[in-house]
RNA sequence: UGCCCGAUAGUAUAAAGGUAGUACGACAGAUUUUGAUUCUGUUUGUCUUGGUUCGAAUCCAGGUCGGGCAACCA
């Protein structure tokens, strides 16, 4: 099957590298910064990096890019590990850029000794002023031509903690007139008297991304260092460092990151949603985080499948969230147990059914397996969905309306005789007669009902809190809209209802996935307790009637 | 006004000079005790102008449009 599928551009590069003998095996890495939770965009990168190494018989390292102590935390380290493993991947080694601080320091000393790096006493403002703009060249810093010995002494003093934050930096000496802004004497080290989540207070100088990432790749002998498009202009610097240091030549390749419509995909924005309480934490089921999708009921396979279908290329993209929904429905349709639950109840009374009588009816747990069944209690009073009744039926209406026949799933055909309304015009009760000969599985009535609806016995139903989620934002691309992205939050993204469930659902566990027939896929939320079930709606079913309306 | 990426149906993604295909969506029909699933069919596309060539989505040149680049962030 994968032989049939055409190669993406990274697979082509790797196959060419193997064919030419440049590499006999490959090693990739997934390099998150532990400053936030992973999201669906990261899962594209994870599937790519782990998928590529698996396909070509190689390995993948997990490397935390922890060079900025002020934003990083072990909480994030743990969540990242959990999410990767939950997705179904296992790293060969776990490393931290901070493992390499001593080595990186040595690399910096080497550059100074070669006359390729210097300590700059300029302030951040002065450095910015001399940097130039994309259309104008920059100017050399007055400190650019310090002697090697002086630079060495100054850099040693930086490490020793003799200066305050911002007082000095170490810069590469490259070309202040380069058309590539990243080559205009980029900063290599800055002073931060900050506590690091792993190295504690051992360091007060920390390497910048550009001086840590490529060298870390090189130290691990990563063959293909795969990152997103915005790092393209960094590639010359990545290669400059490796070339000047004469170390293992890892190579960087860039792909277009995933964008999903009706959500945001930057850790900064997601952090804001969490901190400002627009959502209930990083794992709020409306969040595009891996932990949010997990809590929502998404399966690892559905996410892997999604990442496979969206493909990999170099052009910017905005993927329709409908594809993600297709992937989870495809999975859950085959694997989830069916059950009946009424989310917006109205009473249905069967006037010719004996009061107090209870029948135990059977219903299939999976539509394609008639042998796997459960028992449902049936009685005179039932709950059905408000929306399955229309006082004045629309054209092509298959469900309940005065005088119309409908099949109660796995039970009887009923005919609507009358209904009650309250002063506000709401239907409060529906009266039907049932056809005793129409019992499911032994129907001799000769009648056919066009529609089938779900129901639960009022006398046996259990109550549950059910959380219905909609997209978090009302616009396709909140990040590109005018003004604050948070002003586009969908006010109806969460609706909590009290539902009536068939009694078997009282035994649901966190591992179970259900299809509430005709309503969608649901799973138990982490807030549920034995006496208080809480269900999350993962996704609705496709709804052809919804379109006809 | 510099440099760097990119441009194929509504959204993604293939076609390595030789039939523009696939998935999702949309639409139509069949089946259905879930208006679900399943099945069948249909629709819609190479940014533009030149050039090279028997032949161009593909190669070349110009243009247009979109994105990125001026954090002591990654």
Residue-wise pLDDT tens digits, A117-168: 999 999 999 999 999 999 999 999 999 999 999 999 999 999 999 999 999 9
d(CA A348, CA A351): 9
CA of A519 vs C1' of B44, distance in Å?
A: 32
pLDDT at A106 over 70: yes
Q: What is the pTM of this model?
A: 0.96
Asked if A290 and A332 sit in the same domain, the reply is yes
User: What is the per-residue pLDDT for A549?
Assistant: 79
Asked if A309 and A172 sit in the same domain, the reply is no
Asked if A529 and A446 sit in the same domain, the reply is no
Q: Please report the sign of the dihedral spanned by the C-alpha atoms of residue A86, residue A87, residue A88, residue A91.
A: negative
- Decide which of A393, A424, A454 is a domain's last residue: A454
Which stretches within A28-163 are classed as H helix?
Answer: 40-55, 74-87, 101-113, 124-130, 148-159
pLDDT at A175 over 80: yes
Pairing type for strands A514-516 and A345-350 reads unpaired
d(CA A172, CA A141): 12
Q: Which nucleotide is nearest to A409 (CA to C1')?
A: B33
Burial class (CB in 10 A: 0-12, 13-18, 19+), A90: exposed
Other Cβ atoms closer than 10 A to A8: 15
Asked if A87 and A209 sit in the same domain, the reply is yes
Residue A168's nearest CA partner among A159, A158, A176 is A158
User: What is the per-residue pLDDT for A197?
Assistant: 97
d(CA A304, CA A414): 44
Q: Which nucleotide is nearest to A440 (CA to C1')?
A: B33
Q: Are A222 and A28 in contact (CB under 8 A)?
A: yes
User: What is the per-residue pLDDT for A547?
Assistant: 87
Q: Is residue A308 assigned to a domain?
A: yes
Nucleotides of B under 7 A from a protein CB: 1-8, 10-16, 23-27, 33-38, 66-74
Q: Is residue A372 assigned to a domain?
A: yes
Asked if A208 and A285 sit in the same domain, the reply is no
If you measure CA to C1', which residue is closest to nucleotide B10? Answer: A320
Asked if A332 and A345 sit in the same domain, the reply is no
CATH number at residue A297: 2.40.240.10
CA of A231 vs C1' of B70, distance in Å?
A: 15
Asked if A97 and A239 sit in the same domain, the reply is yes
ipTM, interface predicted TM-score of the complex? 0.96
Q: Tell me the pLDDT tens digit for each residue of A425-454.
A: 999 999 999 999 999 999 999 999 999 999
User: What is the per-residue pLDDT for A180?
Assistant: 96
What percent of chain A shows pLDDT beyond 70? 99
Asked if A419 and A510 sit in the same domain, the reply is no
Confidence class for position A4, pLDDT limits 50, 70, 90: low
CA of A357 vs C1' of B39, distance in Å?
A: 42
CA of A218 vs C1' of B50, distance in Å?
A: 47
Query: Over A441-462, what HEC string results?
Result: CCCCCCCCCCCEECCEECCCCE
Q: Tell me the pLDDT tens digit for each residue of A303-341.
A: 999 999 999 999 999 999 999 999 999 999 999 999 999
- Decide which of A434, A454, A474 is a domain's last residue: A454
CA of A372 vs C1' of B56, distance in Å?
A: 59
Q: Is residue A291 assigned to a domain?
A: yes
Q: Total domain count for chain A?
A: 3
Active site residues of A: 33, 257, 267
Residue A374 domain boundaries: 341-454
Q: Is residue A113 assigned to a domain?
A: yes
If you measure CA to C1', which residue is closest to nucleotide B6? Answer: A315
Q: Is residue A153 assigned to a domain?
A: yes
Residue A297's nearest CA partner among A431, A466, A102 is A466
State the average pLDDT over residues A194-204.
Answer: 98
What percent of chain A shows pLDDT beyond 90? 97
Asked if A215 and A107 sit in the same domain, the reply is yes
Asked if A167 and A311 sit in the same domain, the reply is no
A292-296, A346-350, A391-395: segment of lowest average pLDDT = A391-395
Confidence class for position A261, pLDDT limits 50, 70, 90: very high
User: What is the per-residue pLDDT for A3?
Assistant: 41
Q: In what order do the strands lie in the sheet with A117-120?
A: A117-120, A169-172, A187-191, A205-207
User: What is the per-residue pLDDT for A456?
Assistant: 98
CATH number at residue A208: 3.40.50.620
If you measure CA to C1', which residue is closest to nucleotide B70? Answer: A133
Q: Is residue A327 assigned to a domain?
A: yes
Q: Which nucleotide is nearest to A168 (CA to C1')?
A: B72
d(CA A128, CA A171): 13
Asked if A117 and A79 sit in the same domain, the reply is yes
Please, which residues bridge with residue A421 across strands?
Answer: A427
Q: Please report the sign of the dihedral spanned by the C-alpha atoms of residue A531, residue A537, residue A542, residue A546.
A: positive
pLDDT at A528 over 90: yes
Q: Is residue A260 assigned to a domain?
A: no
Q: Tell me the pLDDT tens digit for each residue of A53-80.
A: 999 999 999 999 999 999 999 999 999 9
The residues, any chain, with a CB within 8 Å of residue A97's CB and separated by 6 or more, are A63, A64, A65, A66, A67, A104, A207, A212, A213, A216
Angle between the N-to-C axes of helices A209-220 and A235-245, in degrees from 0 to 180, rounded to the nearest 10 = 60
Q: Is residue A234 assigned to a domain?
A: yes
Asked if A170 and A227 sit in the same domain, the reply is yes
Residue A188's nearest CA partner among A99, A67, A96 is A67
Please, which residues bridge with residue A378 across strands?
Answer: A359
Q: Tell me the pLDDT tens digit for each residue of A446-504.
A: 999 999 999 999 999 999 999 999 999 999 999 999 899 999 999 999 999 999 999 99
pLDDT at A1 over 90: no
- Decide which of A426, A454, A482 is a domain's last residue: A454
User: What is the per-residue pLDDT for A399?
Assistant: 96
């Amino acid at each position: 099957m994968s032989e049939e599928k055409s190669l993406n551009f990274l697979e082509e590069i790797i196959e060419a590298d193997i064919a030419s003998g440049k590499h006999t095996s490959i090693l990739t890495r997934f390099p998150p910064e532990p400053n936030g939770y992973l999201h669906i965009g990261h899962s594209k990168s994870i599937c790519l990096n782990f998928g590529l190494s698996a396909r070509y018989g190689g390995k993948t390292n997990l490397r935390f890019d922890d060079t900025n102590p002020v934003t990083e935390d072990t909480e994030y380290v743990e969540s990242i590990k959990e999410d990767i493993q939950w997705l179904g991947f296992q790293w060969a080694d776990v490393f931290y850029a901070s493992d390499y601080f001593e080595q990186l320091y040595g690399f910096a000393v080497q550059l100074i000794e070669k006359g390729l790096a210097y300590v700059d006493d300029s302030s951040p403002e002065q450095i910015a002023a001399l940097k130039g703009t994309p259309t104008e060249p920059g100017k050399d810093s007055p400190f650019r031509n310090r002697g090697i010995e002086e630079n060495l002494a100054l850099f040693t003093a930086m490490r020793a903690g003799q200066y305050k934050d911002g007082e000095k930096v170490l810069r590469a000496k490259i070309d202040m007139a380069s058309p590539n802004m990243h080559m205009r004497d980029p900063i290599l080290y800055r002073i931060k008297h900050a506590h690091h989540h792993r190295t504690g207070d051992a360091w007060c100088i920390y390497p910048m991304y550009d001086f840590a990432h490529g060298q870390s790749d090189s130290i691990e002998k990563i063959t293909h260092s795969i990152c997103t498009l915005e790092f393209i202009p960094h590639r010359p610097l990545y290669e400059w460092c490796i070339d000047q240091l004469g170390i293992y030549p890892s190579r960087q390749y860039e792909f277009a990151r995933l964008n999903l419509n009706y959500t945001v995909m930057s850790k900064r924005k997601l952090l804001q949603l969490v901190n400002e309480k627009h959502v209930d934490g990083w794992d709020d089921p409306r969040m595009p985080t891996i932990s949010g999708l997990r809590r929502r009921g998404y399966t690892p396979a559905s996410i892997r499948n999604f990442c496979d279908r969206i493909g990999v290329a170099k052009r910017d993209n905005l993927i329709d969230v409908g594809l993600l929904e297709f992937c989870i429905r495809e999975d859950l349709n085959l694997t989830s147990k069916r059950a009946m639950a009424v989310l917006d109840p109205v009473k249905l009374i069967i006037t010719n059914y004996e009061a107090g009588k209870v029948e135990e009816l059977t219903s299939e747990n999976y539509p394609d397996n008639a042998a796997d069944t459960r028992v449902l209690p049936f009685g005179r009073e039932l709950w059905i969905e408000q929306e399955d009744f229309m006082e004045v039926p629309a054209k092509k209406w298959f469900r309940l309306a005065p005088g119309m026949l409908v099949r109660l799933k796995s039970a009887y055909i009923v005919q609507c005789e009358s209904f009650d309304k309250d002063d506000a015009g709401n239907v409060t009760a529906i009266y039907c007669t049932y056809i005793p000969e129409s019992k499911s599985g032994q129907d001799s009535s000769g009648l056919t009902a066009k529609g089938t609806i779900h129901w639960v016995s009022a006398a046996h139903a259990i109550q549950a809190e059910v959380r219905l989620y909609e997209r978090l934002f009302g616009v396709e691309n909140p990040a590109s809209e005018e003004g604050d992205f948070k002003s586009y939050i969908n006010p109806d993204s969460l609706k909590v209802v009290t539902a009536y469930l068939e009694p078997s659902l009282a035994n649901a566990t966190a591992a179970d996935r259900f299809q509430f027939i005709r309503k969608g896929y649901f799973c138990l939320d982490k807030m549920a307790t034995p006496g208080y079930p809480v269900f999350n709606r993962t996704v609705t079913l496709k709804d052809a009637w919804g379109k006809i309306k």
